[in-house]
């Protein structure tokens, strides 16, 4: 009996040990297969990573080759014009203008240097230099320096504060003068490329490129006494102090404007006097020393808005609202009316109730830009114009005889 129990026990132990061995073998096999699958997955991922690294290295190599070869790139504008070729064509025509302004103070006399740009133009065989009025205004000891470093004394032939234009002559030999061509700016369109060449911060012969971002703008400058400079070109070409007076060019190297102003703290917003203004005035500036044919309406005002229209109980949301007429001026003589009461609109105190100019000679007037541009481009002192106004919600037509703008306070 005891032997039988002992044999049974031994058998059970063998069965248990065998079961454990088989179970362990099965478990090992399962773990091995699982780990093997994971290892294969990891190996596949590593292979993918290695391929990605190889691709990145290939891309970096290509980029490095592109950077190495970038010096061989030729930048092309419209009509297959190369910027470098255009620059070589015009660089000798742009000059640095320097002078001094005298200030008499409590402790004596001070001299402040002024600096800008200008360009050469051939006016009926006479070589002149065109620049901005504000560059040379009230300046003495004016000089011009060509890009080759040669400098010469210069004198002012004439200037127009209302258009920010001035014309100089220089005591330089004929070989120095390489004139630019001035073309009609009326053909300009928004989006066209333009090139500015000048001397920002005295850095001679600097070029910048942009587009025409708007046309028919109106700006005012210190010397205009609050009167607008009309039909101004707005451009994205980067401008800086010292660019003033330099040419704004089209892709053919023709002058379409003269750079005149920048807006402080703006990004890519500059202005240029259109070449049409230069062509219209240059003869008078050379021959008479001034230009006195700016038409004058004799009124001040503001652009209409939806909020102003609501306050005036009118449905006309565009046009130019007359705030005040000058006693004895053209608008006053024609019976146009200024504002009648104060109103607080959109955070501002505004004089409302005046006539709203909505058209001149059947041309729609949306704002001051339209008004100033139309008058400057299409009218002259002594001309009668038909002005369409809104008065007390009634549309009326009034005939106004324009006069010449009064001389600026100098």
Q: What one-character-per-residue DSSP string does 250-290 give? A: -TTS-EEEEEEEE-TT-SS-EEEEEHHHHHHHHHHHHHHSS
What sign results for the dihedral spanned by CA atoms 7, 13, 16, 17? negative
By three-state DSSP, how is residue 298 classified? Answer: coil
Q: Active-site residue among 93, 134, 275, 294?
A: 134
Q: 215: Cβ–Cβ under 8 A, 6 or more apart, which residues? A: 188, 189, 190, 231, 233, 234
Q: Active-site residue among 93, 185, 208, 244?
A: 244
Alpha carbons within 13 A on the beta-carbon side of 174: 3
Tell me whether residue 164 is one of the annotated catalytic residues.
yes
Question: What whole-number distance in Å separates Cα of residue 12 and Cα of residue 10?
Answer: 5
CA angle 312–314–316, rounded 5-degree value: 115
Question: What whole-number distance in Å separates Cα of residue 351 and Cα of residue 337?
Answer: 12
Question: What whole-number distance in Å separates Cα of residue 305 and Cα of residue 97?
Answer: 43
Q: Active-site residue among 93, 117, 160, 164?
A: 164
Tell me whether residue 244 is one of the annotated catalytic residues.
yes
CA-based nearest residue to 119, from 81, 142, 149, 90:
90
Q: Which residues are catalytic?
A: 134, 164, 244
């Amino acid at each position: 009996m005891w032997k039988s129990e002992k044999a049974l026990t031994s058998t059970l132990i063998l069965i248990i040990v065998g079961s454990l061995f088989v179970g362990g073998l099965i478990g090992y096999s399962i773990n091995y297969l699982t780990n093997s699958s994971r290892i294969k997955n990891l190996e596949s991922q590593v292979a993918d990573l290695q391929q990605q690294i190889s691709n990145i290295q290939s891309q970096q190599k290509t980029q490095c080759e592109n950077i190495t070869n970038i010096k061989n790139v030729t930048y092309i504008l419209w009509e297959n014009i190369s910027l470098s070729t255009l620059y070589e064509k015009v660089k000798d025509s742009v000059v640095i203008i320097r002078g001094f302004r005298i200030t008499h103070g409590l402790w004596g006399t001070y001299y402040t240097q002024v600096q800008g740009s200008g360009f050469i133009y051939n006016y009926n065989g006479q070589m002149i230099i065109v620049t901005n009025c504000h560059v040379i205004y009230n300046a003495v000891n004016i000089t011009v320096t060509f890009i080759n470093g040669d400098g010469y004394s210069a004198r002012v032939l004439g200037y127009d504060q209302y258009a920010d234009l001035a014309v100089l002559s220089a005591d330089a030999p004929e070989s120095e003068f390489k004139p630019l061509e001035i073309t009609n700016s009326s053909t300009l369109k928004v989006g066209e490329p333009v090139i500015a060449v000048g001397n920002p911060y005295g850095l001679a012969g600097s070029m910048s490129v942009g587009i025409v971002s708007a046309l028919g703008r109106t700006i005012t400058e210190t010397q205009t006494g609050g009167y607008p400079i009309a039909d101004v070109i707005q451009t994205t070409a980067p401008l800086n102090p010292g660019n003033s007076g330099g040419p704004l060019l089209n892709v053919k190297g023709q002058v379409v404007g003269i750079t005149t102003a920048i807006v402080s703290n703006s990004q890519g917003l500059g202005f240029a006097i259109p070449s049409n203004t230069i062509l219209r005035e240059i003869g008078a500036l050379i021959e008479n020393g001034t230009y006195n044919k700016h038409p004058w309406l004799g009124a001040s005002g503001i652009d209409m808005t939806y909020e102003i229209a609501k306050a005036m109980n009118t449905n006309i949301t565009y046009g130019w609202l007359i705030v005040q007429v000058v006693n004895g001026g053209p608008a006053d003589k024609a019976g146009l009316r200024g504002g009648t009461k104060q109103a607080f609109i959109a955070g501002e105190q505004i004089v409302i109730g005046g006539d709203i100019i909505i058209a001149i000679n059947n041309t729609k007037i949306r704002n001051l830009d339209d008004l100033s541009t139309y008058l400057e481009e299409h009218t002259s002192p002594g001309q009668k114009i038909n002005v369409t106004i809104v008065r007390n919600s009634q549309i009326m037509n009034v005939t106004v005889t324009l006069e010449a703008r009064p001389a600026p306070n100098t």
